[in-house]
Copies of this chain bind each other. A is one copy, B any other.
């Protein structure tokens, strides 16, 4: 039974990673995350950030370094990474890079229950999905090009390239799936359609 991380939210990983460069206060962490574009791969939520910072603190991975107040603004508490934090960051990141995790993408869920829709409807929806995918791919490609043009190093685009590759593979998968469903030679479509034929009759 794999030891659970004391703090499991990916936001915490980003927080530790930023704090390794330099101590910061939470709000600044959030801004960095956004500006940096990391919020595209790590779900960011203002409220969660403070929660995560609290958790990291009580786990001993970060410490309050100083508390300063400017004028009448709320206090800004600056945090720094501890030694334990360093180690946790390193171990966690390595694990993430090395070991694939079992995940639950929404489209997987959709596919596992798609039988609940009649095949012709499923096909129509899948076609529509293809268009959505094409749009978002175009956007991602543009984002990558613009970034390169602005001189962003390739290292920071790998993650977008990954997103793009995923999306492209999904497109071809869906394309193929549509073909299979609409191909009269695919035996299982028959029973699928029959199953729904009953419904259609009884609900009319």
- How does the 8 Å CB contact mask read for A56-77 relative to B, with 1 for contact and 0 for none? 0000000000000000000000
Of all chain B residues, the one with the shortest Cβ separation from A96 is B110
Compute how far the CA of A108 lies from the CA of B162 in the bound complex, rounded to whole angstroms. Answer: 7
Does A112 lie within 8 Å of B159, measured CB to CB? yes
Does B105 lie within 8 Å of A122, measured CB to CB? no
Across the interface, A115 reaches (CB within 8 A) one of B121, B155, B165, namely B155
Interface size class of A (residues with CB under 8 A): 35 or more
Compute how far the CA of A104 lies from the CA of B192 in the bound complex, rounded to whole angstroms. Answer: 32
Of all chain B residues, the one with the shortest Cβ separation from A111 is B159
- How does the 8 Å CB contact mask read for A31-46 relative to B, with 1 for contact and 0 for none? 0000000101111000
- Number of identical monomers bound together in the oligomeric complex: 2
Could you tell me the dominant secondary structure of chain A's interface residues?
A: helix
Neighbouring B residues of A166 by C-beta, 8 Å: 105, 166, 169
Neighbouring B residues of A169 by C-beta, 8 Å: 165-166, 168-169
Does A97 lie within 8 Å of B116, measured CB to CB? no
Does B97 lie within 8 Å of A162, measured CB to CB? no
Does B38 lie within 8 Å of A136, measured CB to CB? no
Is A20 an interface residue when CB atoms closer than 8 A count as contact?
A: yes
Neighbouring B residues of A122 by C-beta, 8 Å: 97
Is A156 an interface residue when CB atoms closer than 8 A count as contact?
A: yes
Does A186 lie within 8 Å of B93, measured CB to CB? no
Across the interface, A103 reaches (CB within 8 A) one of B105, B129, B154, namely B105
Does B93 lie within 8 Å of A128, measured CB to CB? no
Compute how far the CA of A126 lies from the CA of B132 in the bound complex, rounded to whole angstroms. Answer: 31
CB distance from A72 to the nearest CB of B (A): 33
Neighbouring B residues of A89 by C-beta, 8 Å: 116
Neighbouring B residues of A10 by C-beta, 8 Å: 104, 106, 109
